[in-house]
Amino acid sequence: MKQFIQSLPKVELHLHIEGTLEPELMFELAARNNITLPFKSFEDVRDAYNFHNLQSFLDIYYQGANVLITEQDFFDLTWAYLLRCKNDNVVHTEIFFDPQTHTERGISFDTVVNGIHNALSKAVEELGITSQLIMCFLRHLDEESAFTTLNQSLEHKDKIVAVGLDSSENGNPASKFERVFKAATKEGFLAVAHAGEEGEASNIREALDLLQITRIDHGVRCSDDESLVKELAMQRTPLTVCPLSNIKLKVFDNMEEHNIVALLRKNVCVTINSDDPAYFGGYMTDNFMAVSNAHEMSKAEIAQFTFNAIEASFIPQREKNRLMMINKAYLENN
């Protein structure tokens, strides 16, 4: 099964590029940019990655992002992640980035998006990995800041496919960003949002109703509302689930308790993703393996996570069909 999962074609839909900042690269960029880190060694950084909830993670996540200054830094960060994708046989990835994390500290929007985009473009040519870029608004900041970010993004519409919503879920409802999302969709952006990770199942309904999103990021708390689960299954509303993240942030106590396989068997369009892999201890293969080790699954069920992710992706139907055929052939031959 390990070999089957390692070589399985994968599609990632929930990945924060800032969350791929490994300690080694953090130190390298800090040295390059003359930034003093509050850590003495790689081990110190990893010791700090013992989180007790979402906020304790966010505090160190934003601290780590301070080493990202130049376009080259953002390129190097993204390229390092894409090499991990190649190793895990990720054939398509849809990446989140948080411009406000950087513009709030004086880094230009152009610097951030161009560095990431250049790496994604190179990956198509050199690694055969396709991608889309999703711009997230930080929900702990105000509506005005989100509108400023939206306006900054407009000259980069050729690089960004969708807007998203991340950061602290509790205390920052979807309603706070209803007008921003309406403006973004008018500009032609697709829309996704984090909901139902730490927050209640009602947050999922609110995000769907108010923000007109086509994908729920996380969404695991849907199980608290059986009628919602049935609606999600019937409408094939995708959930971009992040198993190792959920354990690390104490959404579930252990992987055996995780509901992703139960949701898959209820025909919910669940997908496996790595979220912030540098902080949560695993990229795509690691997440697939963690679920497989905790739950008895057939190869067809494991491959279904990729079929679901292709279905849920923001790529043209012709490309979806091509990836579906690749995944189907792999399943039939293994």
Q: Give the whole-angstrom CA distance, residue 302 versus residue 107.
A: 41
Q: Give the whole-angstrom CA distance, residue 261 versus residue 255.
A: 10
Residue among 197, 226, 301, 311 flagged as catalytic:
197
CB-count exposure of residue 238 (10 Å: 0-12, 13-18, 19+): buried
- Find out whether 218 and 272 touch, Cβ atoms under 8 Å: no
Among the listed residues 22, 75, 8, the one whose alpha carbon sits nearest the alpha carbon of residue 284: 8
Q: How many CB atoms lie within 10 A of CB 317?
A: 7
- Write out the H or E segment, with its range, that includes residue 164: strand 162-166
Q: Does 43 qualify as catalytic in the annotation?
A: no
CA torsion 233-194-200-184 (nearest 10°) is: -90
- Find out whether 94 and 319 touch, Cβ atoms under 8 Å: no
Q: Give the whole-angstrom CA distance, residue 117 versus residue 137.
A: 18
Q: Give the whole-angstrom CA distance, residue 270 versus residue 96.
A: 18
- Find out whether 164 and 134 touch, Cβ atoms under 8 Å: yes
List, as own/partner pairs, every contact residues 106-113 make where C-beta atoms lie below 8 angstroms and the sequence separation is at least 24, other chains included: 107/68, 107/69, 109/149, 109/152, 109/153, 109/156, 110/156, 111/70, 111/71, 111/74, 112/68, 112/74, 113/153, 113/156, 113/159, 113/160
Catalytic residue set: 197
